[in-house]
Structure 1
Amino acid sequence: MFEDESGAILNMSMEQNAFVSYCIPCHDTVNTLEFCPYDCGSSLLAIGTNSRVSIYCCRFLHTEEGEDESFQEDFDFKLLLDIQNGCPVRSLTWSPLSSYQSCEQQDTVRIAAAGSDNRIKIFTTIFDATTDAQVLEGHSDFINSLAYSPENGDILASTGDDYTCRLWGNDCSQQACFQLTAPGMSVCIHEKEPGKVMVAQKNGIIKIFSLDLQHQISSCDSGISPLMGIDWCKSDEDIIGAVAGTEWMVFQLSRSSQPLERRQAHVDGVRDIKWCKCNPSLLATSGRPGRQIKVFSTKHYQIPLNTSLKVSYGMSWHAELPILGVGGDWKVHLYYIEPAKPQI
Structure 2
Amino acid sequence: MKQDATRNAAYTVDCEDYVHVVEFNPFESGDSGNLIAYGGSNYVVIGLCTFQEEEADIEGIQYKTLRTFHHGVRVDGIAWSPETKLDSLPPVIKFCTSAADMKIRLFTSDLQDKNEYKVLEGHSDFINDLVFHPKEGHEIASVSDDHTCRYVASVTTTFVNYWRMLPSSAGFALSCQHFIETVVSLGPDFAGATLADGLMVAEKNGTIRFYDLMAQQAILSLQSEQTPLMSAHWCLKNTFKVGAVAGNDWIIWDITRSSYPQETRPVHTDRAHLFR
Q: Retained in 2: the 8 A contact 1:178–1:215?
A: no
- Partner residue, 2:125: 141
1:188 equivalenced with 2:174 (yes/no): no
Q: Give the C-alpha shift of residue 111 in structure 1.
A: 0.4
1:204-283 mapped onto 2 (5 Å cutoff): 204-274=206-276
Q: Residues of 2 paired with 1:195 and 1:24: CA distance?
A: 37
CA offsets 1:81-135 (integer angstroms, 9 cap, x no match): 1111110000010111101148xx4201110000000000000111211311111
1:52 equivalenced with 2:54 (yes/no): no
* Structure 2 residue runs without a partner (length 5+): 184-195
Over 3 Å counting, the alpha-carbon distance change for 1:209 and 1:178 in structure 2 is: farther
- Partner residue, 2:85: 99
Structure 1 residue matching 2:257: 3-state secondary structure: coil
1:27 equivalenced with 2:16 (yes/no): yes
CA offsets 1:10-66 (integer angstroms, 9 cap, x no match): xxxxx99989721111111111111111112112111111111110011112069xx
Q: Residues of 1 paired with 2:265 and 2:139: CA distance?
A: 34
Structure 1 residue matching 2:102: 3-state secondary structure: coil
Counterpart code for 1:59: T
Over 3 Å counting, the alpha-carbon distance change for 1:191 and 1:77 in structure 2 is: farther
Q: Residues of 1 paired with 2:254 and 2:210: CA distance?
A: 13
Structure 1 residue matching 2:59: 3-state secondary structure: strand
Counterpart code for 1:93: A
Structure 2 residue matching 1:133: 3-state secondary structure: strand
1:32-47 mapped onto 2 (5 Å cutoff): 32-40=21-29, 41-47=32-38
Counterpart code for 2:226: I
TM-score by length of 1: 0.69
CA offsets 1:112-160 (integer angstroms, 9 cap, x no match): 0000000000001112113111111011111011110011012101012
Q: Give the C-alpha shift of residue 188 in structure 1.
A: 1.1
Paired residue total = 253
Q: Residues of 2 paired with 1:77 and 1:106: CA distance?
A: 21
Q: Residues of 2 paired with 1:177 and 1:87: CA distance?
A: 27
Q: Residues of 2 paired with 1:242 and 1:101: CA distance?
A: 33
Counterpart code for 2:14: P
Counterpart code for 1:53: V
Over 3 Å counting, the alpha-carbon distance change for 1:273 and 1:180 in structure 2 is: farther
Q: Retained in 1: the 8 A contact 2:181–2:197?
A: no
Structure 2 residue matching 1:24: 3-state secondary structure: coil
1:197 equivalenced with 2:199 (yes/no): yes
Over 3 Å counting, the alpha-carbon distance change for 1:16 and 1:117 in structure 2 is: closer
**Root mean square deviation, CA, Å:** 2.4
- Partner residue, 2:112: 128
Q: 2:68 aligns with which of 74, 82, 88?
A: 82
1:108-187 mapped onto 2 (5 Å cutoff): 108-172=92-156, 173-181=159-167, 182-187=172-177
Q: Residues of 2 paired with 1:78 and 1:63: CA distance?
A: 15
Q: Residues of 2 paired with 1:30 and 1:16: CA distance?
A: 22
Structure 2 residue matching 1:248: 3-state secondary structure: strand
CA offsets 1:222-245 (integer angstroms, 9 cap, x no match): 111111110122321000111111
TM-score by length of 2: 0.85
Structure 2 residue matching 1:39: 3-state secondary structure: coil
Q: Residues of 1 paired with 2:198 and 2:221: CA distance?
A: 12
Q: Retained in 1: the 8 A contact 2:27–2:82?
A: yes
Give percent identity, aligned residues only.
32
Counterpart code for 2:116: D
Q: Retained in 2: the 8 A contact 1:147–1:189?
A: yes
* Structure 1 residue runs without a partner (length 5+): 1-14, 65-69, 275-344
